């Protein structure tokens, strides 16, 4: 009898609880509004390695007891790339030591400033009078698709002497690879150097080079790939395992590409046309297709990163006086534009664009383009307010 009395009470409480949950729990974001997540089509084993890499990238926070420092920039991968998106100016890197293309790196502490230190040590200071480059951390999504392209595909867009007369050249950054770099069939060396693809000046050849270097120079963690401690310059026992490094590389390779929002919106379509008309697409190459790769989910995929992975003269306003590899001080790799509209989600609700985050809006970033992009900037300034709105809406949709 008592049991029957309590049934309506419990049912009412359950309904109230469900109603309460609906009003408290926020709605899950749509897939197109997130940068995180694997590329579709991974096998069960690949999904397992993706998750291991995800944990190492986003959850592993280093301490002095687990190898942090003694000097460092950040304590984890995820602290510079929150949600796999762009980093904030407060987490920027400073690179220095090479002031001419293909010249030696000879400044003390170069090539990267470790501006933080564990207790008992002093943070590194930039040598007086040395030119340097400040770089905000980039988004890390879709990198496996860019890594899968062949060198030949990249070279087909070069035009170092501007033979077609459009004012756009585009050259690769040939860099000396680390000893652990193993060339693949699609690599085409030139005098012992290889085309760099990643980094603001395309200074790293592949994602293993990028990841092992970041563990070492960003977190002060050694591995068998990068065994030298950045503080002492001495070889130390590995502080992160080869397997963890490779899991993170796999994670970066198999992160999905950003999904465009509102691609059929009339204003977005109008802006897309303007993007081509004023020659933004001459450097920000919209479309690529991967060849066969060792990961089936990355093979024969057409994708839309809006980059040619080449270096371009961006004019004196963006010349920081320092460089990497064969790049000139005024040359920068065309950054991918996919995911641009989601940048504020990981940058405190604001835009911090260009290589160092100096532009606080898309329009401001466009107006900082010089050098080979001067013509596109001039054409942008001649657009009507409605045309500018459409172009920016297109860019925000990417």
Banded pLDDT at 27 (limits 50, 70, 90): confident
Per-residue pLDDT tens over the stretch 10-24: 555 555 555 555 556
Per-residue pLDDT tens digits for 279-328: 999 999 999 999 999 999 999 999 999 999 999 999 999 999 999 999 99
Rounded to an integer, the average pLDDT of 372-388 is 98
Residue 17 confidence (pLDDT): 55
Question: What's the residue count for the chain?
Answer: 398
**Contact between 347 and 333 (Cβ < 8 Å):** no
Closest CA to 208 of 226, 231, 188, 235: 226
Query: Residue 175 in contact with residue 194, Cβ under 8 Å?
Result: yes
State mean pLDDT over 372-379: 97
Stated pTM of the model:
0.92
Supply 216's token pair: 């070492």
Handedness of CA 18, 23, 25, 26 (dihedral sign): positive
pLDDT of 54 above 50: yes
What mean pLDDT value characterizes the chain? 94
Distances (CA, A) of 142 to 28, 43, 207, 303, 323: 22, 18, 12, 9, 26
């Amino acid at each position: 009898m008592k049991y029957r009395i309590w049934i309506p009470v419990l049912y009412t409480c359950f309904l109230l609880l469900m109603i309460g949950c609906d009003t408290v729990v926020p709605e899950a974001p749509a897939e197109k509004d997130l940068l995180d997540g694997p590329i579709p089509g991974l096998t069960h084993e690949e999904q397992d390695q993706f998750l291991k890499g995800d944990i190492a990238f986003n959850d592993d926070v280093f301490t002095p007891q687990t190898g942090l420092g003694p000097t460092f920039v950040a304590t984890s991968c995820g602290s510079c790339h929150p949600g796999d998106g762009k980093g904030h100016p407060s987490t920027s890197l400073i690179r220095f030591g090479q002031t001419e293309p293909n010249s030696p790196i000879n400044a003390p502490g170069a090539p990267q400033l470790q501006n933080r230190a564990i207790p008992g040590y002093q943070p590194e200071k930039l040598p007086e009078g040395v030119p340097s480059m400040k770089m905000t951390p980039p988004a890390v999504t879709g990198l496996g698709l860019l890594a899968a392209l062949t060198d030949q595909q990249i070279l087909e867009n070069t035009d170092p002497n501007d033979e077609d007369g459009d004012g756009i050249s585009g050259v690769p950054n040939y860099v000396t690879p680390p000893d652990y770099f193993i060339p693949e069939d699609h690599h085409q060396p030139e005098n012992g150097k290889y085309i760099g693809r990643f980094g603001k000046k395309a200074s790293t050849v592949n994602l293993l080079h990028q990841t092992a270097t970041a563990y070492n120079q960003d977190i002060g963690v050694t591995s068998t790939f990068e065994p030298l401690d950045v503080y002492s310059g001495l070889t130390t026992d590995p502080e992160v395992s080869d397997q963890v490094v490779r899991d993170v590389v796999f994670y970066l390779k198999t992160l999905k590409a950003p999904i465009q929002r509102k691609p059929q919106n009339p204003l977005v379509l109008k802006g897309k046309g303007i993007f081509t008309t004023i020659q933004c697409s001459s450097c920000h190459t919209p479309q690529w297709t991967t060849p066969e790769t060792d990961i089936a989910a990355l093979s024969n995929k057409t994708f839309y990163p809006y980059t040619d992975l080449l270096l371009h003269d961006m004019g004196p306003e963006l010349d920081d006086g320092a460089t990497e590899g064969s790049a000139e001080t005024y040359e920068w790799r065309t950054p991918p534009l996919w995911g641009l509209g989601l940048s504020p989600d990981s940058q405190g609700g604001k835009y911090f664009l260009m290589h160092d985050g100096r532009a606080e809006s898309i329009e401001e970033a466009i107006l900082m383009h010089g050098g080979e992009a001067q013509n596109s900037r001039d054409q942008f300034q001649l657009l009507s307010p409605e045309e500018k709105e459409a172009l920016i809406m297109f860019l925000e949709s990417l």
